[in-house]
A and B are shown apart, each in its own frame.
Chain A
Amino acid sequence: MASTLMASCSSIFGAKNKSSFASCFSPSIRAHSFRKHALNKVLAVMAPARSPRSPSSTGSVKHAMTMTEKILARASEKSHLEPGENIWVNVDVLMTHDVCGPGTIGIFKKEFGQNAKVWDREKIVIIPDHYIFTSDERANRNVDILRDFCLEQNIKYFYDIKDLGDFKANPDYKGVCHIALAQEGHCRPGEVLLGTDSHTCNAGAFGQFATGIGNTDAGFVMGTGKLLLKVPPTLRFILDGEMPKYLLAKDLILQIIGEITVAGATYKSMEFVGSTIERLSMEERMTLCNMVVEAGGKNGVVPADETTFKYLEDKTSKNFEPVYSDDNARFIQEYRIDVSKLEPLVAKPHSPDNRALARECKDVKIDRVYIGSCTGGKKEDFFAAAKVFLASGKKVKVPTFLVPATQKVWMDIYGLPVPGSGGKTCSQIFEEAGCDVPASPNCGACLGGPRDTYARMNEPQVCVSTTNRNFPGRMGHKEGQIYLASPYTAAASALTGYVADPRDFLL
């Protein structure tokens, strides 16, 4: 029953895909419309309902679940559940920021009462990060709204900022919410984390269920600590092979999104396993899970392991219990990728699935490069860019904007030596390469923002960016052209003034 359904799903997805997902994966560029047409047949708004089981499938198969299913089962206090079920989930952490926080608070007060108290003052993390270093009055007012609420509710985790002129003068301020959540130990294996931001899926790197929700849902969670969620089926991505030294996790996720399209994972969970994944650092795993939403995915997960536990050692003292997919868990589709065969990629305007080889875009003249955001503004992202600048020794040919995600990242850029540089810090390497001075940590121009946002694209220019979306107008100007890329590719492009392949500098 269920297995036939899975088989039929596989055949729909896999009929033309299976051949391209053989063990030797070659990143051919498919006709976009062909892919889209094939997927149109199977796109469902909701996860496919499971048919009733035959008696022969009970027993050991009955309890086989994927990681995502197990996390949700535990959170809803059920011993077992299946994709398609609507369940009430206990939320471990709710995150909101300055853009959606005020709206969420408004709904919470309207629905639960002006004097209502949040369900748990220690489980809400409020992180101003989107529109911070701006003179926009409403933006500034929104941070004030957060502060008033946090004082009133005695919210334990509020990463406040008051002095906009000097971010370092604000000891509590962190920066980009998803990176702050990780760095402050709020991401823990096996838990449920919801946030009023689509890139909340970033935290799936820790082996937890993390997804984005709107203000109304968040207002509901604020009052009750629960949310009604539909259990997603899981797509499994098995990545093996030696990671080439010119590739980063950003290339891997651009590869996947390019293959399954921006709606390929709608209402589904994306699970990343394999020897390549096991060798990725936490920050690289975050980059991977961060862009799950760009494929329409509900959440992404990477199984927790020693790398995870080591990262968390100095960040949290809370107990957590990781879960892992059962051996015979059912996935609606499996994809195998040999990463050793991949090449540096970009996503061309105006869609994250408009995948192309970086080397085939070398004739695209660019006007600027942006390195920042939750996707590409972490410590390792800047170290990667520095590596390319160091290898080149030359100066950038276009304005190169650097926006560290958090205060910690900023400190690392200025304080830590880059391997192989003779003791230079990233900031020194960036200065020698002629990049802009690293800016105050925040979301910056990834999403445009108020007009005076640093590095906002206010003219129709061409930008190579380590961010996550390139839909029209994403960084400001509607006619702006954004090429999404890894930090290696972005740095290489800055050096040539064209979209560039980082192998030209790293090999």
Chain B
Amino acid sequence: MAMAAAASAAAPAGAKPSFSSPATHAFLISRLRHEHSFPKRISSSYPTLASRSAPKPLSLRRPPRATTGPAETASAIFHGPCYVLGDNIDTDQIIPAEYLTLVPSNPDEYEKLGSYALVGLPSAAYTTPFVGPGATRTRFPVIIAGANFGCGSSREHAPVALGAAGSRAVVAESYARIFFRNSVATGEVYPVECEGVGLCKECTTGDIVTVELGVNRLVNHTTGKEYKLKPIGDAGPVIHAGGIFAYARKTGMIASPSN
């Protein structure tokens, strides 16, 4: 009843989605449970390997939110210098509380959040800032981390700050659940898990890496080592679409204006 109210209250003109019947709920459940297989996609802007002295981070931009298009794959590729973190990086370190007055759904403040991403890291342990002084975006498209990444507060500002800064994927040993869930729901950053332990000890900030979701592989070009990743699974298509709402619209769970 409240859902119907939401549907009817949606403005007829403009891109206003409405939430439809329980049947779509069941459909969404089954979609989220079963794995998709998508054709592989290689970006046309895949660069040649950049020299270490002048790394060019490739940002394989996902399509802007709410566009429809061919069934996109979740097998994205990210390439560029990596930023390495240890275990138990909590959300206060990702985005300290004093910046939580910024409202992520407000575009100007969204950008500002990005500029403060990971500013809470202790300076002694992390001498290279994630976002350079005076910059608003990071030059590191890939973050490599240890266990329990994103623990602590449930603030959604955390994955938002990382995504707004230009980070595309985190490759960690494991995640705290609220952070993982928020990353998927917002579609801001891929929370990828690596197999085994020790990845963050074998990589150094600045190493050039390639993350290939389609073949579940991370290659560190600087060290020459390869690592196996756990499949991103059901979360992939949701993030690729731009988050849970965009995914639900794109797959017909929620009626979109063109329907």
Contacts and interface: CB of A to CB of B under 8 A. Distances in A.
B105 A103 contact: yes
Contact of B156 (A117, A120, A215, A450): A215
B32 interface: yes
Contacts of A115: 9-11
Contact of A472 (B105, B120, B148): B120
Interface stretch (A1-9, A156-164, A221-229): A221-229
Contacts of A86: 29, 32-33
A469 B88 contact: no
B154 A224 contact: no
B144 to A, nearest CB: 16
Contacts of A473: 92-93, 96, 120, 122
Interface string B122-133: 110000000000
Nearest to A41: B197
A111 B17 contact: yes
A171 B151 CA distance: 36
A295 to B, nearest CB: 10
Given A113-B9, A262-B88, A472-B122, A449 B177 contact: no
Q: Which of B96, B102, B103, B245 is most buried by chain A, counting CB atoms within 10 A of its CB?
A: B103
B100 interface: yes
B140 interface: no
Contact of A138 (B16, B102, B153, B197): B102
A267 B105 contact: no
A303 to B, nearest CB: 24
Contacts of A474: 92
A169 interface: no
Interface string B164-194: 0000000001111110111001100000010
Contact of B101 (A36, A131, A223): A131
A441 interface: no
Contact of B181 (A100, A214, A223, A226): A214
A40 B93 contact: no
Interface residues of A, number: 72
A45 B105 contact: no
B236 interface: no
Q: Assign chain B's interface to a size class.
A: 35 or more
Contacts of B5: 117, 119
Given A120-B2, A198-B178, A213-B178, A113 B10 contact: yes
B93 to A, nearest CB: 6
A172 interface: no
Contacts of B175: 45
B130 to A, nearest CB: 14
Contacts of A293: 154, 178
Contacts of A107: 105, 245
Nearest to B172: A45
A25 to B, nearest CB: 25
A27 B229 CA distance: 37
Contacts of A136: 101
Contacts of B101: 99, 131, 136, 138-139, 142, 450
B104 interface: yes
A266 B193 CA distance: 15
Contact of B152 (A36, A225, A471): A471
A298 interface: yes
A220 B245 contact: yes
B107 to A, nearest CB: 10
B67 interface: no
A112 interface: yes
B202 interface: no
A266 B123 contact: no
Contact of B3 (A100, A119, A476): A119
B193 A296 contact: no
Contact of B154 (A36, A145, A197, A296): A197
Nearest to B28: A228
A333 interface: no
A117 B6 contact: yes
A111 B247 CA distance: 12
Contact of B178 (A114, A212, A447, A469): A212
Nearest to A121: B2
A99 B103 CA distance: 8
Given A262-B151, A448-B96, A36 B29 contact: no
Contacts of A213: 154, 178, 181
A225 B2 contact: yes
A471 B92 contact: yes
B9 A110 contact: no
B185 A88 contact: no
Nearest to B157: A103
Contact of A478 (B6, B25, B87, B123): B123
A367 interface: no
A317 to B, nearest CB: 23
B97 interface: yes
Given A88-B25, A220-B245, A469-B90, A110 B105 contact: yes
Contact of B243 (A216, A223, A451, A469): A216
A297 to B, nearest CB: 9
A298 B177 contact: yes
A354 to B, nearest CB: 10
Interface in A156-208: 196-198, 200
B258 interface: no
Given A113-B18, A263-B148, A479-B122, 7 more contacts: A113-B9, A119-B2, A213-B154, A214-B185, A451-B98, A469-B92, A473-B92
Interface of A: 36-37, 40, 43-45, 86-88, 99-100, 102-103, 105-107, 110-120, 130-131, 136, 138-139, 142, 145, 196-198, 200, 212-217, 219-220, 223-226, 228, 262-263, 266-267, 293, 296, 298, 351, 447-451, 469, 471-474, 476, 478-479
26 contacts: A45-B175, A45-B180, A100-B155, A102-B106, A106-B105, A106-B106, A107-B105, A112-B6, A113-B6, A113-B9, A114-B11, A116-B6, A117-B6, A142-B101, A142-B103, A145-B103, A200-B154, A213-B154, A214-B182, A262-B88, A262-B151, A263-B174, A267-B177, A296-B151, A449-B98, A469-B152
The 5 closest A-B pairs by CB, nearest first: A106-B105, A214-B156, A119-B2, A214-B182, A113-B10
